[in-house]
Structure 1
Amino acid sequence: MKANSNIKYLALYLPQYHPIPENDEWWEKGFTEWTNVAKAKPLFKGHYQPILPADLGFYDLRVPEIQEEQAKLAKTYGIDGFIYYQYWFGNKKMLLEKPAERMLANKNVDIPFCFCWANETWKGIWHGLKESSILIEQKYPGKQDYSDYFDYLLPFFLDERYIKIDNKPVFCLYKIKDIPDLDLFLDFFNELAQKNGFSGIYFISVGYPDLDIVKKDKRINGIIGADTFSQIRYNYDPFFSNNTLRNYELRIKRKMGYTSEIVHRKKPLIIDYERTIKELNIKINNPKLIPCVIPNWDNSARSGQKSLIIHNSNPALWEKHLDEMVTELKKHPENPPFIVIKSWNEWAEGNYLEPDRKFGRQWLEAVRNVKNKYND
């Protein structure tokens, strides 16, 4: 077996591309991510906006053929599975659940998948509003709610396409530190999984700065490296030891005239992609770490002048970034065998692999090139 032949390339998947009553109420009738994408404008000379889809167009995830085409496209270019963001707000309240439900019922969507519980309160400011008002609050009602949540997830866990390791369904937790009764949640989900024929749950945490307890907790099997957006936008210290990216942001802020670490920007924060991936200087320093890599980032379609723009990204530099991370992961066979790509289709954040009108399929071709390089 080749040294990295068991490494799986998983891409985060946003199920936002269909109207829901809540978005109709909060934004406008028929709102989806495409609403912001289509109205985006360049904010400076050389700014690549609007970023528009190519092969799949402005799709609607209510159409089954779209998910079939996504699966076919992803598998053709070396993506081994999707990590669907899953929104359970407590008391059986969900949003954007229909695409995953339709995928479950449609065996023609023949790509492996797992879930990431995006346990986070939604706020209007994320979409460029001046107010940070709460749209819908993430709640944790307790054990019965966790039981209801598990019952909802069980048909997905039982599906042959659901990603499992050692008979454990893979389940990612976006904000593990926000779960107030974490011990109860982890133990109860493991218990319910075992009662249903599994060996437990393969929990993966998304990386945040205060994860010492997660590193030591045997119930947590992996930690996805903190993504670049979180590291820069919210001033989190990176999960990585050298702290270089945060220091780089502070240097940029000083040049812009800011004296405080808390910045309410009137202009976008612009950082060069090549410089960014150099500053990250990611080294695997924990046996649970799962590298998280980004091909691009520009959320100005959502946030306008408050946005973060990682400028000058292109498929060649993306291929270099991905290649370096695979090389690093190959040095650590004890680590979980995943590379997480952020993301498959977060178009309003300028963070995607799907074909666009400027580069076509080159983002995907870069993935295939790297994968083939290590599988030869």
Structure 2
Amino acid sequence: MHPRLIAYYLPQYHPIPENDKWWGKGFTEWTNVTKAKPLYRGHHQPHYPADLGYYDLRVPEVREAQAQMAKRYGIEGFMYYHYWFGDGKKLLERPYQDMLHAKSPDLPFCLCWANESWKGVWFGEFTGQMLIEQTYPGTKDIEAHFYYLLEAFKDDRYIKVDGKPLFNVYMPLNLPDAKAFAAQFNALAIKEGLPGLYLVGSRVPFDWNPHEYGFDAVIGSEMAQIRYRNQSKFKRPRYAIKRTQQIIEKITGKEIFSPFNRPAVVEYAAIIDQLITTQTFDFDYYPCVIPNWDNTPRAGNGGLVFQNSTPALFEKHLLKGIEKVQHLPPQRQLVFVKSWNEWAEGNYLEPDRTHGYAYLESVKRVLDSL
């Protein structure tokens, strides 16, 4: 049995009224992708999709094509980002709901509750403002949330571990009481005839033991650890140098194209060994592998770039991730991929015009070698 590769799946490829209001009529993730431009010499932007084009996830044929592509290259299933802001407020639920109710495509899936507030971090009138706040109204809301998800949990396609539906809480540290949340969700699952839920946390420090909070496992968040706790990994210019550059630009009226006027850049080859920890744990730890990263389409010069990623380097990275879980029982040999289709963050497996299917071929090559 191969290790189980599950890819995060972003549903923000169809317009919704809220995004129309915040960012302009017809906004989708492609809006950020298509406006991207190189920010320093050698910066590879924009990225262009290949076979699937600038798709709309309201179209069933698109979702079917994605599923067939994932199956062909060894991705077991998609983990859809799911947005529940409290009091029943949901966003971007249509692709997941359409897939669920149509019983198609026939590809395993699970859900990641992306429980964080949305802020205006891109461009336009709402930049820097709170767009919609993640709230936690209490036990009645937890119950309503569970029953909204129950149809998915009981779907034959839903990804399970030891018979339990897998549910990822993206930021369990944000929960007012993670232990109480886990207990209530599990109790409701058992009440509805399920053996419980397989709860997985992410974006947590290494000393967060999931068992102490009623969770079963952790998805590695080394990228967040490195980026936010060790800023030296992503060096930016000293303030004095940057300020001098700004003064010269103001006097001359010309932009200085230099390494000081750019996002944080790190070589992909230098960072991949740090994206999967060498630590061992008394609980299940699942690595999160990243084929590439460049979120400058969203963040501009405030972004982060993993430079010079290649399919061969990703293959090495993925193999290390698989090795990390090979000691576990087959059902729990999980490796998560971030992501299937996060184009505006530069991390995607879908074919593009530069590499074609090369990253997907890397996945299949690794799996075929096991």
Question: Does the alignment reach a TM-score above 0.5?
Answer: yes
SS in 2 for 1:87: strand
- What CA deviation, in whole Å up to 9, does each residue of 1:132-151 have, x standing for no partner? 31100000001111111111
**Equivalent position of 1:243 in the other structure:** none
For the residues of structure 2 that align with 1:158 and 1:277, how far apart are their CA atoms? 37
For the residues of structure 2 that align with 1:258 and 1:148, how far apart are their CA atoms? 49
For the residues of structure 1 that align with 2:2 and 2:112, how far apart are their CA atoms? 21
SS in 2 for 1:147: helix
2:232 alignment partner, one of 225, 250, 266: 250
SS in 1 for 2:50: coil
SS in 2 for 1:217: helix
Write the mapping of 1:143-222 to structure 2, written as runs, cut at 5 A. Answer: 143-209=139-205, 211-212=207-208, 214-217=209-212, 219-222=214-217
| Kept in 1: contact 2:39–2:262 (CA 8 A) | no
1:103 alignment partner, one of 99, 105, 114: 99
Q: Using the TM superposition, give the Cα deviation of residue 190 of structure 1 relative to its aligned residue in structure 2, in angstroms.
A: 0.6
Q: Tell me: CA distance 1:128–1:335, structure 2 relative to 1, closer, same or farther (3 Å).
A: farther
- What CA deviation, in whole Å up to 9, does each residue of 1:183-206 have, x standing for no partner? 321111111100111111100000
SS in 2 for 1:160: coil
Question: TM-score normalised to the size of structure 1?
Answer: 0.88
Is residue 23 of structure 2 the alignment partner of residue 27 of structure 1? Answer: yes
**Equivalent position of 2:138 in the other structure:** 142
For the residues of structure 2 that align with 1:279 and 1:258, how far apart are their CA atoms? 28
**Equivalent position of 2:285 in the other structure:** 289
Q: Tell me: CA distance 1:373–1:258, structure 2 relative to 1, closer, same or farther (3 Å).
A: farther
Letter of the structure 2 residue corresponding to residue 76 of structure 1: R
Letter of the structure 2 residue corresponding to residue 220 of structure 1: F
Q: Using the TM superposition, give the Cα deviation of residue 217 of structure 1 relative to its aligned residue in structure 2, in angstroms.
A: 2.0
**Equivalent position of 1:298 in the other structure:** 294
Which sections of structure 2, spanning at least 5 residues, go unmatched?
Answer: 241-259
| Kept in 1: contact 2:85–2:135 (CA 8 A) | yes
RMSD over equivalenced CA pairs, Å: 2.0
| Kept in 1: contact 2:295–2:305 (CA 8 A) | yes
For the residues of structure 2 that align with 1:98 and 1:61, how far apart are their CA atoms? 8
Letter of the structure 1 residue corresponding to residue 232 of structure 2: L
Question: TM-score normalised to the size of structure 2?
Answer: 0.89
Identity across matched positions, percent: 49
| Kept in 2: contact 1:23–1:32 (CA 8 A) | yes
**Equivalent position of 2:266 in the other structure:** 271
- What CA deviation, in whole Å up to 9, does each residue of 1:135-187 have, x standing for no partner? 00000001111111111101111110001122211100011011103232111
Q: Tell me: CA distance 1:131–1:38, structure 2 relative to 1, closer, same or farther (3 Å).
A: closer
1:322 alignment partner, one of 318, 322, 329: 318
For the residues of structure 2 that align with 1:38 and 1:251, how far apart are their CA atoms? 29
1:122 alignment partner, one of 115, 118, 123: 118
| Kept in 1: contact 2:13–2:28 (CA 8 A) | yes
Q: Using the TM superposition, give the Cα deviation of residue 320 of structure 1 relative to its aligned residue in structure 2, in angstroms.
A: 1.1
| Kept in 1: contact 2:161–2:331 (CA 8 A) | no
Letter of the structure 1 residue corresponding to residue 135 of structure 2: K
SS in 2 for 1:372: helix
**Equivalent position of 1:242 in the other structure:** none
Letter of the structure 1 residue corresponding to residue 146 of structure 2: F
Q: Tell me: CA distance 1:308–1:232, structure 2 relative to 1, closer, same or farther (3 Å).
A: farther
For the residues of structure 2 that align with 1:304 and 1:298, how far apart are their CA atoms? 10
2:218 alignment partner, one of 219, 223, 226: 223
Q: Using the TM superposition, give the Cα deviation of residue 336 of structure 1 relative to its aligned residue in structure 2, in angstroms.
A: 3.1
Q: Tell me: CA distance 1:281–1:211, structure 2 relative to 1, closer, same or farther (3 Å).
A: closer
| Kept in 2: contact 1:289–1:335 (CA 8 A) | no
For the residues of structure 1 that align with 2:12 and 2:67, how far apart are their CA atoms? 17
For the residues of structure 2 that align with 1:252 and 1:338, how far apart are their CA atoms? 29
Q: Tell me: CA distance 1:86–1:266, structure 2 relative to 1, closer, same or farther (3 Å).
A: farther
For the residues of structure 2 that align with 1:165 and 1:174, how far apart are their CA atoms? 18
| Kept in 1: contact 2:40–2:261 (CA 8 A) | no
Q: Using the TM superposition, give the Cα deviation of residue 332 of structure 1 relative to its aligned residue in structure 2, in angstroms.
A: 4.9
| Kept in 2: contact 1:143–1:184 (CA 8 A) | no
Which sections of structure 1, spanning at least 5 residues, go unmatched?
Answer: 237-245, 260-264
For the residues of structure 1 that align with 2:261 and 2:87, how far apart are their CA atoms? 38
For the residues of structure 2 that align with 1:134 and 1:266, how far apart are their CA atoms? 28
Write the mapping of 1:316-355 to structure 2, written as runs, cut at 5 A. Answer: 316-333=312-329, 336-355=332-351
For the residues of structure 2 that align with 1:171 and 1:252, how far apart are their CA atoms? 32
| Kept in 1: contact 2:350–2:357 (CA 8 A) | yes
For the residues of structure 2 that align with 1:155 and 1:337, how far apart are their CA atoms? 26
Greater C-alpha Rg: 2
| Kept in 2: contact 1:329–1:335 (CA 8 A) | no
